[in-house]
Amino acid sequence: MSATAAKREIKTLEKGKKETTEETISIKNLDVYYGDNHAIKDVSLDISPYKITAFIGPSGCGKSTILRAINRMNDEISNCRMEGDIHWRGHKLLSDEVDPVILREKIGMVFQKPNPFPKSIYDNIAYGPKIHGVKDKDELDDIVEKSLKDAALWDEVKDRLEKNALDLSGGQQQRLCIARALAIEPEVILLDEPCSALDPIATSKIEDLLEELKEDYTVVIVTHNMQQAARISDYTAYMYLGELIEFGETEQIFENPQKENTEKYITGRFG
C-alpha cells in the first residue's frame, strides 16, 4: 500500500473513542472462499462496541474465518478470497485502501492455541510496541507491566520476566498472548476459542479478564463452550455451514431461540 494511503488511514484511525455508531463493526454481505470452498455465505451483522459478542456453531461452520476476515488475517492465506464489506469508523476494511498492518494494530487477535514467541516473557510483550515505534526502555517497562496487569498475569510472572515464555503453563501462556495483544493498545480484541486448551480454573480467570476488558475494548469471541457464551457474552451469533442462522442478545438466543436449528445446537441435540 502506498505511503499516502497509509497517512490517510492513520489520520482517521486516530485513537480515542468516537460516537458508538462509528465504532460498530458492521459486516455486510460477507462471502469468503477458500479456493472453491464457499466458507462464509452472505453474512451480515453488527458487532456492538464495548460489548462481548460470541460466535458459536459446529466445527467448520466458519467462525474462525469471520474473525480472520475482520482483521484481514485471511490476506495471509494465498487461496482465500473475500467479497462484501466490513464497515468500521467509516472505513471499508476489506478495501485495498486499508493497510492490514495498521488495521491489525487496532484490532488485536488471540488464537485458540497459545502461541507465545520463543523469547522471554518481557520480549513477548515488548515485541509489538517496539515495532510500532516505542523505543524508550522505561516506556516499554511501563507497557509490559500494564499489559501483564491487565491480563491478570503480573503477579505470577513479575519476578521472572527474563524467563522464556515457553516455560509458562498453558493458561499462563494464553494470558500472556492476551497481554501481548493488549500491549499495542488495540480497540477491538478478537479471541478464537481462547480457552479450549485450558483447565476450568484458567478458563474462569480468562473469563473474568474478558469481563474487565469490555470496559475499554470491543470484544469478539469464538467459543465451543455454550455455558461460557451464556455467561460472559452480551450478544451471540449462531452459525451453521457458513451461514448466520441467528443473531441477537445472548439471553434471547439461549432462552428463546427463534430457529429450530439454533435450539437443537444449544441444547446439545446435535453437533
Partner 1 sequence: MVSLKSSSQKDDENPFQKGRNIKEKLIRSVLFIFASLAVIVSALIIFTLLEGSFNFFLGPEGSMLEFFFGTNWMPSGGDPSFGVLPLLMATLVVGGGATLIATPIGLAASIYLAEFAGDKVRNIVKPLIEMLAGIPSIALAYFALFTISPLFRVHFGASYFNMASAMIVISIMVIPIIVSISDDAITAVSSELEDGSLALGTTRWETTKNVIVPSASSGIIGSVLLGLARAVGETMVATLVAGSVANLTFSPLEEGQTMTAYMAQVAKGDIPPGAAIQAAFAVGLLLFIITYLIRLGGELITEHFTGGKEKKSHPFVRRAKERLERGWWRVKSILSTERDKVAALKNRYRKQKMGKVITFLCMIGPLLFLSYFIFNILRKGLPGMSITFLTSYPSRFPDKAGIFPVIMGSIYLISLTMVIAVPIGVGAAIYLKEFAPDKFYSRFLRRIIHNLAGVPSIVFGFIGYIILVEMFSVGGNLLSGSIILAFMALPIIEVSTEEALESVPDSFRDAARGLGATKWETVKNNVLPNALPGIMTGSILSLSRALGETAPILFITTMFAKNPPGGIFDQFMAMPTMIFYWTTHMKEEFQVLAATTIIVLLAILLTMNGIAIYIRYRTQKRRRW
Ligand X SMILES: Nc1ncnc2c1ncn2[C@@H]1O[C@H](COP(=O)(O)OP(=O)(O)OP(=O)(O)O)[C@@H](O)[C@H]1O
Which parts of 154-183 interact with partner 1 (CB under 8 A)? 162, 164, 166, 177, 180-181
* Residue 65 binds to ligand X (criterion: CB under 6 A): yes
| 160 Cβ contact list (under 8 Å, min separation 6) | 121
For residue 124, which of 178, 168, 180, 175 has the smallest C-alpha distance?
180
Instruction: Please report how the helices 137-150 and 121-131 are oriented relative to each other, as an axis angle in degrees rounded to 10.
Output: 120
According to CB under 6 A, which one of 60, 136, 160, 267 is a site residue for ligand X?
60
Residue 91 to residue 42: CA distance in whole angstroms: 20
Q: Look up residue 74 and give its DSSP letter.
A: G
C-alpha cell at 53: 459478542
* Residue 63 binds to ligand X (criterion: CB under 6 A): yes
* Residue 83 binds to ligand X (criterion: CB under 6 A): no
The sheet that has 107-110: what strands, in order across it? 107-110, 188-192, 218-222, 52-56, 235-240, 243-249
According to CB under 8 A, which one of 21, 29, 37, 115 is a site residue for partner 1?
115
Pick between residue 64 and residue 261 the one whose CB is nearest to ligand X: 64
- In whole angstroms, how close is the CB of 125 to partner 1 at the nearest point? 10
- In whole angstroms, how close is the CB of 141 to partner 1 at the nearest point? 10
- What track of x and - describes contact with partner 1 for positions 4 through 33 (by CB under 8 A)? --xx--x-----------------------
Q: Which stretches of the chain bind ligand X, using CB under 6 A? A: 34, 37, 39, 59-65, 77
